[in-house]
A and B are shown apart, each in its own frame.
Chain A
Amino acid sequence: MESQNLPWIILLLPLFCAASILLFTRRSGNISALIATGCSLISLLLGVALLRLPDGVHVAAFPWLNMGSNVVVEIGFQIDQLSRGMMLVVTAIGAAVHVFSLAYMKDDDGKARYFAGLSFFMFSMTGIVFANNFVMMFVFWELVGFSSYVLIGHWFEKDSAADAAKKAFLTNRIGDFGFMIGILLVWGLTKSIYFTAIATAVVDEQILNGVSNGLLMAMVLCVFCGAIGKSAQLPLHVWLPDAMEGPTPVSALIHAATMVAAGVYMLARIAFLIPMSAGAGEVIAWIGAITALMAALMALQQNDIKRILAYSTLSQLGYMVMAVGINAADAAMFHLFTHAFFKALLFLGSGAVIYACHHEQDIWKMGGLAKKMPITFVTFVIGTAALMGLPFVTSGFFSKEAILGAALHGHKALFVVAAFIVLLTAFYMTRLIVVVFLGEDRSEKAKKAKEVPVLMWVPLVLLAVPSVIAGYEFFYKGMALSPAFPHHEGPASIGLIVISAVLLIFGIGMAFWGYKGETSEPMAGNRLARVFGNKFYVDEAYTWLIKIFQDGLAGVANFVDKVVVDGLVARLPAAGALRLGDAMRRLQSGNLQSYGFLFALGAVLVIYLVVFK
């Protein structure tokens, strides 16, 4: 096998798989599941093999859209640390999720559709990772949105799932609106859509010198809009928690580890553009920080196990975006890499819990699961530790320190926010563990829970390993993933470690003390807690805004169309023609004598004009 063809195989294998399920095995869920899982395992092997492909290797591109005027959109491949590392994440978690789904979706009616959707997602995500130009990235950007729509709406007979799917797609479309404008501005200003060519033009040739900062800022922020939508940053974050209506393995793959991280990945790809505009990075960093903060606050008071994790994902994505904004895209990517493993682990763990509790998602109806599901419990704790960033023993620690360290160098305000989030993270994750796994069981469903089948706990164990070691240098160095991932070490970070360790212990302690032995939310009466629990009422505000602006505008437009436009353009001329016809009809009296009179009058007039004028 030619190694240059490897990316093509990784890209097309899942597409082929999705197409064959759609065309041939649509009626048989089991065969489809096996095909898809087989493909995902092969993809994982290929993803590992990809690590050996050198940087900038030439892969034959397919000229997808030749617009003329020297604009050619290729399906091309950019192979470097960034794409190799991301590909490893995608294929590894993809494989784990496929295997997990075999058991989780065992009795589902729409199994074939589900696995076709997963495969199609793998195809689209691979496209984003490999994309060497903006338009190709946009193509697959939309396609991941579509596969996410299909998978969130998997149980489309439920109103909530159907609405969530629609919401996710539309919110992403709003982001893509900005993204497309951003792409066009980049193209208009730099005369290229290819990342390497843009980098050369912008960094080496300084082609953007003399362009007004306003336009440059618009360009960067419009491109960033794409990331706002896909990575669910404020103000477009509302779709991600709702996306939890999809099957839990989907949440693990798409809405925790890979697709939502695509925004950060894209920003890392174009990180060289951000400093071109003074102030754009600042805006990006603050949007990330505020998202991280608000999401962490919202996570404090959620009662649905998946929603807690969803808000935690939002919060962590905000971290990464913040890092990109302060020119630490490498730290962001590092965190993306580690976060993907432990967040996928946590989601699959929550899936195991939900499965064991017969689709109960309310944490207050669980409890005491540690004894009944030991493997799930241990792996979940490992994931939680990594998410909190337990010093030195988890991957999350290293990546989080990298971001905190970058923030400490010059962005003190951002650092304070980021450090506060460490405390919040420790608090809400400890709350989750205490309520779900410790104490007594609080419902029939929890009482009957038992450990999940082997197909489900094996992926958990396998994901627990990188959750611990992915931050160690030997791991990513050995995989030839550095130097995309930095390692902030040295004396400055000792103080940092102390600060975050203190915050961590404080957060864990508070949660332990607050929730130990509770059977219902102790803070339920607190007004502030209610604001957090209701997600700052953002969804309500949006519903209201949509009602006023979209539906209201649509209603007005419809009324105007029916009454004013149709009236002016069609009915008014029509009425005029009718009136005129009516008036003419009156002249046509049918009375011979009046015709004769008119005739005579006419004749007299003619004689007068001819003879006397």
Chain B
Amino acid sequence: MTLLEAIIAVPIVAAIAIAFGSPTRPTAVAAAAINLILILFAFGQYDLVHQEGAYQLTASHPIITVPDLANPGAEATLFGLSTGVDGISLVLLLLTGIVTLAAVWVSPAEDQIKGNKRLYYLSSLLISAGALGAFCSTDLFFFFAFHELALIPTFLMIGIFGSGPNRVRVAWKMTIYLGVGSMILLAGLVALFVALGGQSLQFVDMQAWADAPAAIASSSLENGIFLTLLIGFGILVSLFPFHTWAPEAYATAPTPTAMLHAGVLKKFGLYGLIRIAIPMLPNGAAHWQTLVLVLLVGNILYVGYVTIAQKRFDLMLGNSSVMHMGYAFLGIASMTVIGVQGAVLLMFAHGISIALLFALNGHLRKRFGTLEFDRIGGGLGKLLPTLGLLFGFAIMAGIGLPGFANFAAEVMIFFGGFAGLFAQEKDFVLGPVQIATMCAIWGVVISAVYGLRAYRNLFMGPLPDSTKDRKLADLTLAEQLPLILLIVTLLVIGFAPGLLIKYLIPSIENISHLAG
């Protein structure tokens, strides 16, 4: 068993152990911690110097083999459980590891869970396992299947443990939405597989086929496949206008599920675009670039204004997480090395910061039972100083204050957007990417508006009479620790983004057809 297989197996084994009676919380936290250590170990094992961003720590267990066409007599793998990581997946593994640990750590103690405690912890671990599997797989089938695996526990968590009267309806809505997205995605992936010769589901082989000249003869076919993949992945990442599942689902979901889904699992769609759609269908990507730009501006500006209008903190967070996906799309759609790097870094930074915000959201909900700004009424800064302080960190990270990883990522995305201008020699003309980038920069103002408004409405101003007499406990040390873990991660990467970027650069430069 290789290191990566162990990383995927640890949460699954822990989930099985919990199902068969192992103490829930200690097992889950221990598994998440072990996994984080293993992931850091994988960073140590990853060879930055010699292998120019190729897949490393690979292992393959073929399930179906076919005769190799190019190499008569030999067998080629059609599909099998293949694992491997490059810089991109490594960064996402780290994200998963950190968020998983924080998520099971902030999960309520067993006596506070109404319903099946085992299911609660088991589901969180399975979501994590699904994400880890998807990021580690280098086989199209398992890449897809692991993500689907993670959707089932998400559905159960929202439907069973969610808050609010609509939890079952919301769970169904999200699952149907994501199910349809996955179905479209599956159609696109199958079409891609067939169009690329239908010989192998291994990423490496598919990429090799795609890199061959005129890999897909008909450009309309290539465009069609890319569009299908874009919609499929786009629904999973809540690309405008397929985003309406997300805010409600996150507002309803129990805290660890919201953290894991918004923080980690949602990034699967973006990862798929970077891993599959862009490198294997570069012409399709170029063809639909303007469409993607229009949609992502919808994400940033339109959903941004929707976010401003929210009167409940949890809905505001859900919408803001939709909005920030627009930046990641911008980085990808700029089709430049800097932009794609920024997108991956933003996936990491946003994953951590939104998980942090949802964790704080959970603490507020636990104390007030409501998240409506008007019902809470403000003034909590004096009453709950530690919560206020950590909240301030989270809000500032969310609106991209320098010093947090989010800022570095956003700056890189903006630079990626203008790199096209850079490449022109004379006759500088602002193209659609630059215009979309300018719209995205206005999004920075929008996110400051709703972020500061939320902080103002929750923590500043005088204490209303309704809360004055209530005994509200500030965060205990045990409650603070997972939050501090997330904040420290954001700060470390914010102060030294190079720690992650050095892993990204070679792998992203490997993606052909990106402007330098």
**Direct A–B touching in the complex (beta carbon < 8 Å)?**
yes
Interface residues of A (CB under 8 A from B): 63-69, 71, 73, 135, 138-140, 142-143, 146, 149, 153, 156-159, 161-163, 165-166, 169-170, 173-174, 176-177, 180-181, 184-185, 187-189, 191, 210-212, 215, 550-551, 553-558, 561, 565-566, 568-570, 574
Are the C-beta atoms of B418 and A184 separated by less than 8 Å?
Answer: yes
Is B414 in the interface zone, CB < 8 Å from A?
A: yes
Closest Cβ of chain B to A348, distance in Å, is 27
Closest Cβ of chain B to A186, distance in Å, is 10
Interface 1/0 per residue, B370-405 and A, CB below 8 Å: 000000000101100000000000001000011100
Interface of B is mostly: helix
Is B459 in the interface zone, CB < 8 Å from A?
A: yes
Contact of B461 (CB < 8 Å), options: A69, A156, A187, A554: A156
| CB-contacts of B491-516 with A (<8 A) | 495-498, 501-502, 505, 508-509, 516
Closest Cβ of chain A to B458, distance in Å, is 11
Asked, given contacts A65-B408, A67-B415, A558-B306, whether A158 binds B462 with beta carbons under 8 Å apart, the answer is yes
- Residue of chain B at shortest CB distance from A212: B428
Q: In the assembled complex, which residues on chain B have CB atoms less than 8 Å from the CB atom of A188?
A: 418-419, 421-422, 428, 434
Is B288 in the interface zone, CB < 8 Å from A?
A: no
Q: In the assembled complex, which residues on chain B have CB atoms less than 8 Å from the CB atom of A149?
A: 452
- Residue of chain A at shortest CB distance from B420: A188
Closest Cβ of chain A to B207, distance in Å, is 21
In the complex, 12 of the A-B residue pairs with CB atoms within 8 angstroms, ordered by the A residue number, are: A69-B338, A156-B381, A161-B460, A162-B461, A166-B456, A181-B441, A184-B434, A188-B421, A188-B422, A556-B305, A565-B241, A570-B177
Q: Which 6 pairs between the two chains have the least Cβ-Cβ distance?
A: A188-B421, A162-B460, A558-B309, A554-B309, A554-B308, A557-B305
Within the assembled complex, what's the spacing in Å between the Cα atoms of A64 and B402?
12
Known: A159-B462, A173-B444. 19 other contacts (CB 8 A): A66-B498, A69-B336, A142-B401, A146-B401, A157-B461, A161-B460, A162-B456, A170-B449, A177-B442, A177-B445, A180-B441, A184-B417, A188-B419, A210-B426, A551-B308, A553-B305, A555-B309, A565-B241, A565-B244
Interface residues of B (CB under 8 A from A): 173, 176-177, 241-245, 302-303, 305-310, 336-338, 341-342, 379, 381-382, 396, 401-403, 407-408, 411-412, 414-415, 417-419, 421-422, 426-428, 430, 434, 437-438, 441-442, 444-445, 448-449, 452-453, 456, 459-463, 495-498, 501-502, 505, 508-509, 516
- Residue of chain A at shortest CB distance from B425: A210
Are the C-beta atoms of B497 and A561 separated by less than 8 Å?
Answer: no
Q: In the assembled complex, which residues on chain A have CB atoms less than 8 Å from the CB atom of B418?
A: 184-185, 187-188
Are the C-beta atoms of B402 and A211 separated by less than 8 Å?
Answer: no
Q: In the assembled complex, which residues on chain B have CB atoms less than 8 Å from the CB atom of A173?
A: 444-445, 448
Within the assembled complex, what's the spacing in Å between the Cα atoms of A69 and B423?
11
Q: In the assembled complex, which residues on chain A have CB atoms less than 8 Å from the CB atom of B427?
A: 210
Contact of A71 (CB < 8 Å), options: B310, B338, B417: B338
Contact of A68 (CB < 8 Å), options: B241, B338, B496: B338
- Residue of chain A at shortest CB distance from B396: A146
Within the assembled complex, what's the spacing in Å between the Cα atoms of A298 and B131?
60
Closest Cβ of chain B to A325, distance in Å, is 24
Q: Which of B403, B459, B502 has the most CB of A within 10 A?
A: B403
Within the assembled complex, what's the spacing in Å between the Cα atoms of A569 and B180?
12
Q: In the assembled complex, which residues on chain B have CB atoms less than 8 Å from the CB atom of A135?
A: 411
Q: In the assembled complex, which residues on chain A have CB atoms less than 8 Å from the CB atom of B445?
A: 170, 173-174, 177
Are the C-beta atoms of B414 and A180 separated by less than 8 Å?
Answer: yes
- Residue of chain A at shortest CB distance from B509: A68
Are the C-beta atoms of A157 and B444 separated by less than 8 Å?
Answer: no
Within the assembled complex, what's the spacing in Å between the Cα atoms of A574 and B26?
42
Are the C-beta atoms of B463 and A68 separated by less than 8 Å?
Answer: no
Are the C-beta atoms of A554 and B305 separated by less than 8 Å?
Answer: yes
Q: In the assembled complex, which residues on chain B have CB atoms less than 8 Å from the CB atom of A574?
A: 176
Closest Cβ of chain A to B462, distance in Å, is 5
Q: In the assembled complex, which residues on chain A have CB atoms less than 8 Å from the CB atom of B408?
A: 65
Within the assembled complex, what's the spacing in Å between the Cα atoms of A67 and B338?
6
Q: Which of B173, B305, B408, B496 has the most CB of A within 10 A?
A: B305
Are the C-beta atoms of B337 and A215 separated by less than 8 Å?
Answer: no
Are the C-beta atoms of A142 and B460 separated by less than 8 Å?
Answer: no
Closest Cβ of chain A to B122, distance in Å, is 30
Q: In the assembled complex, which residues on chain B have CB atoms less than 8 Å from the CB atom of A158?
A: 461-462
Within the assembled complex, what's the spacing in Å between the Cα atoms of A374 and B215?
88
- Residue of chain B at shortest CB distance from A187: B418
- Residue of chain B at shortest CB distance from A135: B411
Are the C-beta atoms of B498 and A63 separated by less than 8 Å?
Answer: yes
Asked, given contacts A67-B412, A184-B418, A184-B437, whether A156 binds B459 with beta carbons under 8 Å apart, the answer is yes
Are the C-beta atoms of A554 and B460 separated by less than 8 Å?
Answer: no
Contact of A561 (CB < 8 Å), options: B244, B342, B456, B461: B244
Are the C-beta atoms of A211 and B428 separated by less than 8 Å?
Answer: yes
Q: In the assembled complex, which residues on chain A have CB atoms less than 8 Å from the CB atom of B497?
A: 64-65
Are the C-beta atoms of A69 and B337 separated by less than 8 Å?
Answer: yes
Closest Cβ of chain B to A560, distance in Å, is 8
Within the assembled complex, what's the spacing in Å between the Cα atoms of A93 and B259?
45
Within the assembled complex, what's the spacing in Å between the Cα atoms of A591 and B453?
63
- Residue of chain B at shortest CB distance from A141: B402
Contact of A157 (CB < 8 Å), options: B244, B309, B336, B379: B379
Within the assembled complex, what's the spacing in Å between the Cα atoms of A135 and B415?
10
Within the assembled complex, what's the spacing in Å between the Cα atoms of A156 and B378?
10
Closest Cβ of chain A to B297, distance in Å, is 13
Closest Cβ of chain B to A579, distance in Å, is 16
Closest Cβ of chain A to B309, distance in Å, is 4
Q: In the assembled complex, which residues on chain A have CB atoms less than 8 Å from the CB atom of B302?
A: 557, 561
Are the C-beta atoms of A143 and B441 separated by less than 8 Å?
Answer: no
Within the assembled complex, what's the spacing in Å between the Cα atoms of A180 and B437?
10
Closest Cβ of chain B to A514, distance in Å, is 40
Within the assembled complex, what's the spacing in Å between the Cα atoms of A447 and B112?
61
Q: In the assembled complex, which residues on chain B have CB atoms less than 8 Å from the CB atom of A189?
A: 421, 428
Within the assembled complex, what's the spacing in Å between the Cα atoms of A139 and B401?
8
Q: In the assembled complex, which residues on chain A have CB atoms less than 8 Å from the CB atom of B502?
A: 66
Within the assembled complex, what's the spacing in Å between the Cα atoms of A37 and B444?
35
Within the assembled complex, what's the spacing in Å between the Cα atoms of A64 and B408?
9
Q: Which of A166, A184, A185, A569 has the most CB of B within 10 A?
A: A184
Asked, given contacts A139-B407, A143-B402, A554-B305, whether A569 binds B244 with beta carbons under 8 Å apart, the answer is yes
Within the assembled complex, what's the spacing in Å between the Cα atoms of A162 and B463?
13
Are the C-beta atoms of A550 and B421 separated by less than 8 Å?
Answer: no
Are the C-beta atoms of A68 and B441 separated by less than 8 Å?
Answer: no
Are the C-beta atoms of A143 and B306 separated by less than 8 Å?
Answer: no
- Residue of chain B at shortest CB distance from A558: B309
- Residue of chain A at shortest CB distance from B402: A139
Q: In the assembled complex, which residues on chain A have CB atoms less than 8 Å from the CB atom of B448?
A: 169-170, 173
Within the assembled complex, what's the spacing in Å between the Cα atoms of A143 and B418?
24
Are the C-beta atoms of A177 and B379 separated by less than 8 Å?
Answer: no
Closest Cβ of chain B to A199, distance in Å, is 19
Q: In the assembled complex, which residues on chain B have CB atoms less than 8 Å from the CB atom of A69?
A: 336-338, 419, 516
Q: In the assembled complex, which residues on chain A have CB atoms less than 8 Å from the CB atom of B516?
A: 69
Are the C-beta atoms of B401 and A157 separated by less than 8 Å?
Answer: no
Contact of A570 (CB < 8 Å), options: B244, B341, B460, B496: B244
Q: In the assembled complex, which residues on chain A have CB atoms less than 8 Å from the CB atom of B402?
A: 138-140, 142-143
Q: In the assembled complex, which residues on chain A have CB atoms less than 8 Å from the CB atom of B243?
A: 565
Q: In the assembled complex, which residues on chain B have CB atoms less than 8 Å from the CB atom of A68?
A: 337-338, 341, 501, 505, 508-509
Within the assembled complex, what's the spacing in Å between the Cα atoms of A568 and B243?
12
Q: In the assembled complex, which residues on chain A have CB atoms less than 8 Å from the CB atom of B173?
A: 570
Q: In the assembled complex, which residues on chain B have CB atoms less than 8 Å from the CB atom of A558?
A: 305-306, 309-310
Within the assembled complex, what's the spacing in Å between the Cα atoms of A187 and B417?
12
- Residue of chain A at shortest CB distance from B449: A170
Q: In the assembled complex, which residues on chain B have CB atoms less than 8 Å from the CB atom of A159?
A: 461-462
Are the C-beta atoms of B401 and A143 separated by less than 8 Å?
Answer: yes
Within the assembled complex, what's the spacing in Å between the Cα atoms of A189 and B425?
9
Are the C-beta atoms of A180 and B444 separated by less than 8 Å?
Answer: yes
Q: In the assembled complex, which residues on chain A have CB atoms less than 8 Å from the CB atom of B444?
A: 173, 176-177, 180
- Residue of chain A at shortest CB distance from B235: A569
Within the assembled complex, what's the spacing in Å between the Cα atoms of A456 and B502?
51
Contact of B453 (CB < 8 Å), options: A71, A166, A176: A166
Within the assembled complex, what's the spacing in Å between the Cα atoms of A558 and B421?
35
Q: In the assembled complex, which residues on chain B have CB atoms less than 8 Å from the CB atom of A568?
A: 241
